[in-house]
Amino acid sequence: MKIVIASGKGGTGKTTVSLNLALALSDVQLFDCDVEEPNCNLFLGFDLEKVEDVVCPVPVINQEKCSICRQCSDFCRYNALAALPGRILFFPSLCHGCGGCTVLCPENAIREVQRPLGVIEKAKGESYPEFYRGLLNIGETMTSAVIKRLKKYIDDRKIAILDAPPGTACPVIASVEGMSYCVLVTESTPFGLHDLRLAVDVVRTIKIPFGVIINRYGLGDSRVEEYCNAEGIPVLLKIPNDRKIAELYSQGIPFVREMPEWREKFLGVSEAIKLQLAVKEELTI
Amino acid sequence: MKICVTASSEGLDSEVDPRFGRCSYFIIYDPETGSVESISNVNAAASGGAGIKAAEVVANAGVGVLLTGGAGPNAFSIFAELGIDVQVGAKGTVGEAIRQYEAGELQSIRSPNSTPGFGMRKGDGKGKGMKGGGMGRGMGRGM
């Protein structure tokens, strides 16, 4: 089972839910997909080691062979190549590494080199949970490439929990795609509801079964619950706006470690997800 | 030396569009012959690299001077390479902008004065568009 924890709005508690769920379950892999600023390990404190460099193949153009036929620049849908009167100019930060320009070049003037984008790191030795994260190089924008690479470490025999980046753009799609279930974490504020609607649009479009966890419950008003009821979206858990939870968070402690009653509640979330997936499967058969 | 003005529609009477990569039209004016050519900007809604493609159009039109509101680092590197003079501050119609240029009322810029993604409208797919606002969290993440 592959569960991705996402949200529209940032700061609603994706990492909190990911960590506590991972610590409540057994035989779990935890993936920090927020590769621009992965923060799961602030709460885990594992020693990390690099397991892989994430690279993007980019073109190097031999200007002597190049006839400026423009086939490469016309083909590039990310506009990484500009055909100027005197030469082809390449903009590495826009290149997605599809390799199309190299294949198309009639003069064989293009060869590829590997441009580094970031790294994949893993907790050293035997850790619990088994932990991986992506780390995007500073200034780099090819976020999705690092996330996609990170997801290759998912072991289908285990439960995978993915802590997704915030928002509803490509990095979120890259995290959510192909997963069995998506948990959307939100809060009962106007922003929380607004961005939850956007996130619901995304998961519905890519057809991933999903449910909602309301964090800091008691804050704001009841509109998120009313929305979920009206839309038939299951509310898997409500985490109260509780001072003890906030204090533990501020000390970098996932609250299931100090509040064992919450271990049961997160196990309940996992059971509710399994049930929802089983019902869905029955309906499709 | 040909002059290019970024504009919201065709011809000398159209309004100047201060956006470079995402303007609607490039109006190319040749002071020697008086000819006016309006080129539609097919990459105005590109998700990225609109400035690069726009600079490619301008470069291949043989333009020496560009009158617009601003250019980002990618487009500017093309102008710098080809020695295209970018002048900002034009107001009104394309015809008036050319007159302001000829009267020496506009200023050349020597470095990029905009950021990638500037000029994208709401709903274009990314949360950008704050001129000089820099890249914050949630910006520039859509690649």
Query: Which residue in chain B is spatially nearest to A139 when comparing CA positions?
Result: B135
Q: Report the residue from B43, B56, B127 with minimal CB separation from A84.
A: B56
Q: At what angle do helices A261-284 and A14-24 cross, to 10 degrees?
A: 90
Is the domain spanning A56-116 CATH 2.60.120.1440? The answer is no
The structural domain count of chain B equals 1
User: Does B130 fall in a domain?
Assistant: no
Please tell me the pTM assigned to this model: 0.81
Q: Are B13 and B94 in contact (CB under 8 A)?
A: yes
What is the CATH number for B20?
3.30.420.130
Domain ranges of chain A: 2-46+127-284, 56-116
Predicted local confidence at residue A200, as pLDDT? 97
Q: What distance in Å separates residue A82's CA from the closest CA in chain B?
A: 6
Yes or no, beta carbons of A82 and B81 under 8 Å apart? no
CATH of domain A2-46+127-284: 3.40.50.300
Q: Where are the alpha helices (DSSP H) in B3-128?
A: 50-60, 73-82, 94-102
Q: Which parts of chain B register pLDDT below 70?
A: 117, 119-143
Predicted local confidence at residue B115, as pLDDT? 76
Predicted local confidence at residue A285, as pLDDT? 65
What is the mean pLDDT for each group of 10 consecutive residues in chain A (285 residues)? 95 97 97 97 98 97 96 96 95 94 97 97 95 96 95 97 96 97 96 96 96 95 95 97 96 96 97 94 74
User: Does B47 fall in a domain?
Assistant: yes
Measured between beta carbons, the chain A residues lying within 8 angstroms of B64 are: none
In angstroms, how far is CA A105 from the centroid of its own chain?
35
Predicted local confidence at residue B36, as pLDDT? 97
Predicted local confidence at residue B114, as pLDDT? 80
DSSP labels, A13-81 = SHHHHHHHHHHHSSSEEEEE--TTS--HHHHH---EEEEEEEEEEEEEE-TTT-----HHHHH-TT--E
Radius of gyration (C-alpha) of chain A in whole angstroms: 22
User: Does B138 fall in a domain?
Assistant: no
Predicted local confidence at residue A124, as pLDDT? 96
User: Does B129 fall in a domain?
Assistant: no
Distance CA A129, CA A201 (A): 31
Which residues of A fall below an 8 Å CB-CB distance to B?
A: 10, 36-37, 73, 78-80, 82-85, 89, 91, 94, 96, 141-144, 165-167, 169-171
User: Does B49 fall in a domain?
Assistant: yes
Query: Which of B43, B47, B52, B137 to mutate to test binding with chain A, by most A CBs within 10 Å of its CB?
Result: B52
Nearest to A135 by CA among A115, A161, A117, A112: A117
User: Does B132 fall in a domain?
Assistant: no
Q: Are A181 and A210 in contact (CB under 8 A)?
A: yes
Distance CA A78, CA A57 (A): 14
ipTM: 0.78
- Range of the structural domain that residue B10 is part of: 2-108
Task: Report the percentage of chain A scoring pLDDT > 70.
Answer: 100
Predicted local confidence at residue A81, as pLDDT? 97
Cis peptide before A234 (omega within 30 of 0): no
Query: Which residue in chain A is spatially nearest to B47 when comparing CA positions?
Result: A78
